[in-house]
Structure 1
Amino acid sequence: MANKDEWTVPQDDLAEAWQQVLPERLNDGDQAEVIANGTDPRSLQVTIKTAGHQKLEFDFAVQYVDSREIDIQLTDVEKDGQSVDERTDIMQDLIQDYRRHLHETAQALHHFTHS
C-alpha cells in the first residue's frame, strides 16, 4: 500500500500540464516555459517572460511540498539578458503577481497531482 505522501506524478507529465495551464493564468502577451528539474521529481523550473518592450524574464523554482502545496523560489530576474535588482517596489509587485499565478496553476492542477 502506497504512502499517501508518496509522489507518483511523472515529472514530464507534470511539466507538460503546467506548460498547458500556466499561460492561461498569465497576463495577455506574457509567455511561460516550464521544464522538469532533472534532480528532483517534485520540482519544475518556470521562466516567465513579460509582454511588451521591457523584456523582463523571471525564473522560478517550483517544488511540490505535497500533492496540494507548492514552494516557490525566485531564482533570477533579467532584463535584456542582464540580471536586475528585484528589490524595487515595481519588481516586487510583478514577482508577487507571478507567484499568485503559479499558485493558481497548482490549484488548477490539483486533480492531476492529488490521487
Structure 2
Amino acid sequence: MAKIDELRTNPEQLAEAWRNTLPRTMNSSDRCEVFPDEADAKALRVTIHSAGHQAYTFDFKVTYVDSREVLVELIDVEKDQVAVDERTDMMQQLILDYKRHLHECAQALQQLTHA
C-alpha cells in the first residue's frame, strides 16, 4: 500500500509558522498577513501589502498539494480597497515576485510540513 503524502499540520499552527517565516523571504519593507482558509484545511490565505506609494494589496490562496508542494493562486489585487487590473506587465512582475516568495516560504517550512 502506497504511503499518501499529505499535509498533516494543524491549520492554525501552519498559519503561525508562515507568519513567522514569510517576512524573512519577502522584501523587508512589505507586510504580510496569513490566516488558515476557513473553507479548506489544506490552504492558507495570504495578504501582502506592498511597500511604497502604490500601496497595493495582493491576496493569494496557498494550497498544499501534498506535504511539500504548494499551489499559489492570485485571488485579487487592490489599491485603496479598489480592484486593479493585474494583467499589466508591472503587475505581472510583482505577482511573479510574490509567488516566488510564497514558494520560498513553503520550502523553508518543509521540515514542519513533511512528515
TM-score (normalizing by structure 1): 0.95
Count of residue correspondences: 114
* 1:1-115 correspondence to structure 2 within 5 Å: 3-115=3-115
Once the two structures are TM-superposed, the CA of residue 54 in structure 1 deviates from its matched residue by 0.7
Write the deviation string for residues 29-80 of structure 1: whole angstroms up to 9, x where unpaired.
1000000011211100000000111110000000000011000110000011
Q: Percent identity?
A: 54
**Equivalent position SS for 1:28:** coil
Matches of 1:86 and 1:6, distance apart in 2 = 32
The higher-RCO structure (CA 8 Å, 6+ apart) is 2
Runs of 4+ with deviation above 3 angstroms: none
* Residues 8 and 67, structure 2, Cα contact 8 Å, conserved in 1: no
State TM-score, norm by structure 2.
0.95
Q: Indicate the RMSD between aligned Cα atoms, in angstroms.
A: 1.3
**Structure 1 runs not aligned, ≥5 long:** none
Structure 2: gaps of 5 or more residues: none
Partner amino acid for 1:10? N
